[in-house]
Amino acid sequence: MALSELLEADAYMMLVIRVNLLRLKALVTGATICSGILFVGQKFNRIIAMFYRGGGYRANFLAAQATPSTKNGAL
């Protein structure tokens, strides 16, 4: 095998490695972005569920207003 063929094969392998590293970087970046979106969505769903569990924000507010105060022994 001639020296030029070895250099050409070496250059091709370097190109393949570079392309594969770029693909890996794109995959990791995409997975990170997707993970962040899912994390925010999960937190948002928990906040929404917190309000719906007790009948919603308005129901919780009205229930708190209707509860007699126990401050200063008034009950």
pLDDT tens-digit readout, 6-42: 778 888 899 999 999 999 999 999 999 999 888 888 8
pLDDT (0 to 100) of residue 49: 76
Q: Containing domain of residue 10, as a range?
A: 3-65
What per-residue confidence (pLDDT) applies to 42? 85
**Does 73 fall in a domain?**
no
- 21 is written with which tokens? 């590293």
Average pLDDT over residues 42-62: 70
Cα separations in angstroms, 32 against 15, 37, 45, 67 = 26, 9, 20, 46
Residue 72 is assigned to a structural domain of this protein: no
14 domain residue, yes or no:
yes
Q: What mean pLDDT do residues 55-61 have?
A: 60
Q: Is residue 74 over pLDDT 60? A: no
Residue type (1 letter), 13:
M
Distance CA 67, CA 75 (A): 10
pLDDT at 28: 93
